[in-house]
Amino acid sequence: MSLSQAFSQSLGVSQTQGRFGVEISDPVEKEKRVNELVQYMLIMDQKKIPIKKRDINRVILKGQNRAFNGVMEEAAEKLLEVYGFKIIELQDKLKDSYILVNNLELNESQKKLINTNQKDNAEMGLVFVILGMIFMNQNVIHEDEMWHALKKLGIFQDDLHSTFGNVKNLIMKEFVRKGYLRTELNTSTDPPTNDIYWGQRAEHEITKRNMLSMVCDINETQPSDWTYQMQLVMQEDQGSQQQEAENSAVPGPSSSSR
Amino acid sequence: MEVFGDGHRLFIQSMMSRGMMNISEVKEVISECGLDVETEFKDKVVKFVRLINQHIGPINLEIRKGLEEENGQPYYILANTAETSISRLSSTYSPNELELFKKLIESIVENEDGKIGSLAAMNLTDKLEKKIGKEEAENFFNRLEDDRWIRKNTNGKISLSVRSIVELDQYIKDVYPDYVKFCSLCTKLCLQGRGCENCGAKFHIRCSNVFFNKQGSNKTCPEPNCRAPWGQVVIH
C-alpha cells in the first residue's frame, strides 16, 4: 500500500533525521515512535508472520531498547482503539514475538469484507481443515495421518498443487511460521515423524466452539456427540469468562474500547 | 456528533485489505458497518470518512476520493501521505518486481495516450538489471491487476488505475516532470485523456465531456488561451 514510499526510498528521498534524534523522554518523539510502531505492526501483520521484539527495537526504536515497554503499551492502545486489533504476546518457543488478532466480533458477511484475497482465502480454508482434523483427533495428529487424510481432498505431499503449489512447504513451514500450526518431532517412531498441534495464532484466532460447530455442520453430527471436544469447548468458555471478569476488575484500554 | 466505533474500525480493516472501493462497495461496507445507507448517503459517507481520517492521519494514512481516468467513475482509496523509512516494508512486492513496476509506469507516462500494449509491457523485462522471466512477469502483472494498481482494457492495453494515480501522484510528478501533463480543466494529473491538436493541452475524458455538454454545438478547445474549433474528436 505504500508504493510511493518504496519508490521514494530508492530515489534517496528518505528520512534523514531520527538516528541522532531527541531522547524518547520528549513526548513528541515518543508519539512519533508510537505511530511508527502502529504502522509497522499493521504492515507486518499482513504477512501473518509473528513480529519479533528484536526487529521492533532495531527498526522502530533504533537501539533505544529501554523505551520498548512504554512505546508498546501506547501502540497497543491505538491498535485497539482505532483499528480494532489486539496485540498478543506469544509464549514458549515464540517468546518475544507478537501477533495482531482481530478484536471485532464479526458475522460471516462482515468477515468477507476484510478477507478479499482469493489465495489467502484458499490457504485459510486449508488451515481450517487441518486444525479441524487436529481438534477432532484430540488435539494432535501425526504428519503421515494428516497427509493420508488430505489425499481425499486431492492434496498430496510430494505433488505440486494447482492452488497451493508446494503444499508440503506451505503446511509444514509457512503455516508453522505464521503460528497456525506447531510441530514436534516424535522420536518414539522409526523413522521419527512430526506430531502436529494447533499453533498459538490458531488458539487466539479460532474458538473451539466455532471449530466444533463447523466440523459438525460438515459431517452432520451434533456437537454433543463429541464428548471430549465438548469438554474443551466448556473449558474455553470458562476461561474467557474468567478473563472478562479480570478485565472488568482492572479498567484499562481494552475494556473501555468496546 | 458521530462517535468513533466498531463500524469505523471495520471500515478501516476492510479498506486496508482492499486498497480501494467503488461507490457501491463503499455502500455495502458502510451498511455492514451499521449505518443506514438509504437516506442522505453522500453526506453520511463524507462525515464517516472524515472521522476515520482524523484517526488514521497520525500513521500517515488517508482515505481519498479519486476518479478513474478511463470512465470517470469515483473511487475511495487508502493512500499514504508521507515518506518514512519503514513504510517501504508495506509493499507486498519484491524489489525487483518494484523495478519492473517503475519501468511500466515510465513507459505509460511517456506514452501520449497513457497506456501500453501487453507485449510492450512484457518486453520491459529486458531493461531490468536483474532478469525476470516472462512467465514470472506475466504473473506479476496479473497480481498488479488483482491488487488494482493497473487496469487492462479489452484490447489488452495496460493503464494505471485510479489507485496508482492517487497513491503515486507525487512520485510521477517528481520523476517525470518533462512528460506529465495536467488536465487543463481540473488541473490534476492526466495520463489518459484527449488532446487539442492546436495548442496541445490535455483533458480528462470526463472533464471535457462535462465542458462540451455545456458548450452545445459549437465546440472549441476548453483551454482559455486557445479556443480553437474542436471538430476532429468524436465525443461519446
CB contact under 8 A, A114 and B87: no
What residue numbers bound the domain in which A132 lies?
Answer: 108-249
What residue numbers bound the domain in which B103 lies?
Answer: 92-175
CATH at residue B37: 3.90.1150.220
Q: Which of B16, B84, B168 sits opposite A42 (nearest CB)?
A: B16
In a domain, A258, yes or no: no
> Hey, of B59, B145, B175, which one would you mutate to test binding to chain A, going by the most A CBs within 10 A of its CB?
B59
In a domain, B225, yes or no: no
CB contact under 8 A, B88 and A6: yes
- Euclidean distance between the first and final Cα of chain B, in Å? 44
Average pLDDT for B142-170: 89
Average pLDDT for A41-68: 89
In a domain, B213, yes or no: no
Amino acid letter, B162: V
CB contact under 8 A, A113 and B13: yes
What is the helix, strand, coil percentage profile of chain A, to 5?
60, 10, 30
Q: Which of A1, A14, A35 sits opposite B90 (nearest CB)?
A: A1
Q: Is there a single domain that holds both residue B118 and residue B154?
A: yes
In a domain, B217, yes or no: no
In a domain, A222, yes or no: yes
Q: Which of B6, B28, B167 sits opposite A4 (nearest CB)?
A: B167
Q: Is there a single domain that holds both residue A126 and residue A208?
A: yes
Q: Is there a single domain that holds both residue B147 and residue B106?
A: yes
Q: How far is A97 from chain B (nearest CA, A)?
A: 18
pLDDT at A97: 95
Q: Is there a single domain that holds both residue B55 and residue B10?
A: yes
Please say which residue of A50, A70, A102 terminates a domain: A102
Q: Is there a single domain that holds both residue A234 and residue A122?
A: yes
Q: Is there a single domain that holds both residue B51 and residue B100?
A: no
Whether the Cβ atoms of residue B85 and residue A60 lie closer than 8 Å to each other: no
In a domain, B55, yes or no: yes
pLDDT tens track for B90-111: 567 888 888 899 899 999 999 8
Please say which residue of A67, A102, A137 terminates a domain: A102
pLDDT tens track for A120-155: 889 999 999 999 999 999 899 999 999 999 999 999
Q: What's the CA gap between A149 and A141, in Å, rounded?
A: 11
Q: Cα–chain-centroid distance for residue B206?
A: 14
Quickly state the pLDDT bin for A6 (edges 50, 70, 90): low
What b/e readout covers B2-31, taking b as 16+ CB neighbours within 10 angstroms?
eeeebbbbbbbbbbbebbbbeeebbbbbbe
In a domain, A257, yes or no: no
In a domain, B186, yes or no: no
Closest by CA position to B189, among listed B156, B208, B210, B166: B166
In a domain, B19, yes or no: yes
Chain A residue nearest residue B13, CA to CA: A114
Residues of chain B contacting residue A114, judged by C-beta atoms under 8 Å apart: 10, 13-14, 16-17
Q: Cα–chain-centroid distance for residue B120?
A: 21
Closest by CA position to A4, among listed B82, B95, B145, B192: B82
Residue B152 has which C-alpha cell?
487492462
Whether the Cβ atoms of residue A176 and residue A49 lie closer than 8 Å to each other: no
ipTM for this model: 0.79
Quickly state the pLDDT bin for A2 (edges 50, 70, 90): low
Quickly state the pLDDT bin for A227 (edges 50, 70, 90): confident
Q: Is A175 helix (H, G, I), strand (E, B) or coil?
A: helix
For residue A190, what is the DSSP state?
A: S
CATH at residue A66: 1.10.10.1200
Q: Is there a single domain that holds both residue B74 and residue B41?
A: yes
In a domain, A256, yes or no: no
Find cell 489488452 and name the residue. Answer: B156
pLDDT tens track for A61-99: 988 888 899 999 999 999 999 999 999 999 998 999 999
Q: Is there a single domain that holds both residue A53 and residue A159?
A: no
Q: How far is A75 from chain B (nearest CA, A)?
A: 11
Question: Measured between CB atoms, does A52 come within 8 Å of chain B?
Answer: no
Number of domains making up chain B: 2
Residue A193 β-bridge partners: A186
Q: Is there a single domain that holds both residue B101 and residue B83?
A: no
Please say which residue of B158, B175, B192 terminates a domain: B175
CATH at residue B125: 1.10.10.10
Quickly state the pLDDT bin for A4 (edges 50, 70, 90): low
Least confident of A40-44, A190-194, B168-172: B168-172
**Which percentage of chain A shows pLDDT scores above 90?**
43
pLDDT at A52 exceeding the cut of 90: yes
Q: Is there a single domain that holds both residue A92 and residue A201?
A: no
Residue B123 has which C-alpha cell?
518486453
In a domain, B226, yes or no: no
- Beginning with the edge strand found earlier in the chain, give each strand of the sheet holding A97-102 in spatial order: A51-52, A97-102, A85-89
For residue A224, what is the DSSP state?
A: G
The residues near B7 (Cβ < 8 Å, ≥ 6 apart) are B30, B33, B34, B35
In a domain, A186, yes or no: yes
In a domain, A254, yes or no: no
Residue A118 has which C-alpha cell?
482469493
Q: Is there a single domain that holds both residue B49 and residue B107?
A: no
Q: What's the CA gap between A104 and A115, in Å, rounded?
A: 14
Size of interface A-B (CB pairs under 8 A): 134
pLDDT at A72: 94
Number of domains making up chain A: 2
Q: Is there a single domain that holds both residue B99 and residue B170?
A: yes
